[in-house]
Amino acid sequence: MRAGDPFEGLHVFLAVARRSSFRAAAKDLGVTAGAVSQSIRALEGRVGLPLFQRTTRSVALTEAGQSLFARLGPASDAIGAALDTLASLRARPSGLLKLTVPHKAVPFFIEPVLPRMREEHPDVTIEVSVNDAFVDLGEGGFDAGIRIGESIAVDMLGVRLSEGLRWHVAGSPSYFAKHGRPTAPSDLLGHAAIRYRPLGTGEIYRWEFVDETRPIVVDVPGPITVNDGALAIQLARRGLGLVYAPDFEITRDLADGTLVTTLDAYAPTSAGIFLYYAGGAQTQPKLRAFIDVLLAVRREASSGPRARKHGAP
Residues 124-172 pLDDT 10s: 999 999 987 778 888 889 999 998 887 787 788 889 998 889 999 999 9
- pLDDT tens-digit map of 239-263: 999 999 998 889 899 999 999 999 9
CA–CA dist 313, 170 (Å, integer):
17
Q: CA angle, 233 as apex, 232 and 238 as ends, to 5°?
A: 100
pLDDT at 265 over 70: yes
Task: Compute the mean pLDDT over every residue in the chain, rounded to the nearest whole number.
Answer: 87
- How, if at all, do strands 95-101 and 144-148 pair? parallel
- pLDDT tens-digit map of 201-239: 678 999 999 998 789 999 999 999 998 888 999 999 999
**Which of 85-99, 201-215, 258-272 has the lowest average pLDDT?**
85-99
CA–CA dist 165, 54 (Å, integer):
76
Q: How far is the CA of 137 from the CAs of 158, 162, 279, 294, in angstroms? A: 13, 21, 12, 19
- 124 neighbors 93 (Cβ within 8 angstroms): yes
CA–CA dist 310, 217 (Å, integer):
29
CA–CA dist 154, 306 (Å, integer):
35
Q: What is the pLDDT of residue 311?
A: 45
Which helix (H) or strand (E) element contains residue 196? strand 194-196
CA–CA dist 167, 208 (Å, integer):
8
Q: What are phi and psi of 36, to 5 degrees?
A: -65, -45
Mean local confidence (pLDDT), 182-186: 95
Q: What is the pLDDT of residue 169?
A: 97
Q: What is the pLDDT of residue 307?
A: 45
**Which of 141-150, 168-177, 188-197 has the lowest average pLDDT?**
141-150
Pick the residue with more confidence: 309 or 82?
82
CA–CA dist 72, 10 (Å, integer):
8
Mean local confidence (pLDDT), 71-94: 77
- Measured in whole angstroms, the distance separating CA 7 from the mean position of its chain's CA atoms is 35
Q: What is the pLDDT of residue 89?
A: 58
- 192 neighbors 232 (Cβ within 8 angstroms): no
Q: What is the pLDDT of residue 313?
A: 59
- pLDDT tens-digit map of 13-71: 999 998 999 989 999 899 998 999 999 999 988 889 999 988 877 889 999 989 999 98
Mean local confidence (pLDDT), 105-124: 93
pLDDT at 304 over 60: no
Count of CB atoms situated within 10 Å of the CB of 88? 12
pLDDT at 2 over 70: no
Buried b (16+ CB within 10 A) or exposed e, 256-269: eebbbbbbeebbee
Enumerate domains of the chain plus CATH numbers: 10-91 (1.10.10.10), 95-163+272-310 (3.40.190.10), 165-270 (3.40.190.10)
Of 94, 162, 150, 139, the residue nearest 278 (C-alpha): 139
Mean local confidence (pLDDT), 94-102: 92
CA–CA dist 117, 161 (Å, integer):
17
Please, which pLDDT band fits residue 281 given cuts at 50, 70 and 90? confident
- Measured in whole angstroms, the distance separating CA 163 from the mean position of its chain's CA atoms is 20
- 114 neighbors 127 (Cβ within 8 angstroms): no
- 140 neighbors 100 (Cβ within 8 angstroms): yes
- The rounded percent of the chain whose pLDDT value lies above 70 is 92
CA–CA dist 118, 127 (Å, integer):
12
| Total residues belonging to the chain | 313
Q: What is the pLDDT of residue 309?
A: 42
- How, if at all, do strands 59-61 and 124-130 pair? unpaired
